[in-house]
Amino acid sequence: MPVESLNLEAISIATNLYRSAQKLRVKMETEVLSSYNLSWTAFSILYDLWVWGALETRKIAELSGISTATASNVIKTLEKKSFCRKSIDTRDRRLVFVSITDSGKQAIEELYPEFHKGETALIAGLTKDEQKTLTELLRKVADNLHTT
């Protein structure tokens, strides 16, 4: 494939998004999540439960961008730590809902301030207008991935 036929801006954007996401993930896992022995995925699930309340397993997988099988395995790990609990829907026994426990809330409320420092470091040097523009552009990029 000739280089001239490639969209170099698309390559640059995708590469920078990937590198930024990887750097953030490694930083957070190393500096914050390791103290609770949580992976990025486990934190992501715990965070979603903290923010949204009880969620069905398939919804958790969708929000985290993982398979239902992976979500189930991570949820088992969080259950062993007493950070969440599962319950069967009384109307449809095929549905499993997961909710955060008091221990899970305590853990996330303790670690989130440190996690948030990493989030703010990510945008250091950007003006408020640049932050807003970046948010809008990243939303558009994410929306493109849902439609293709």
Which parts of the chain have pLDDT scores under 50?
148
H runs (alpha helix) in 32-124 = 40-52, 57-64, 68-80, 102-122
pLDDT digits (tens, 9 = 90+) for 30-46: 999 999 999 999 999 99
Query: Tokens 């809330």 map to which residue?
Result: 105
CATH number for 3-147 (one of 1.10.10.10, 3.40.50.12160, 3.30.260.10, 1.10.287.810): it is 1.10.10.10
Q: Say how many residues make up the chain.
A: 148
What are the boundaries of each domain within the chain?
3-147
- pTM reported for the whole predicted model: 0.85
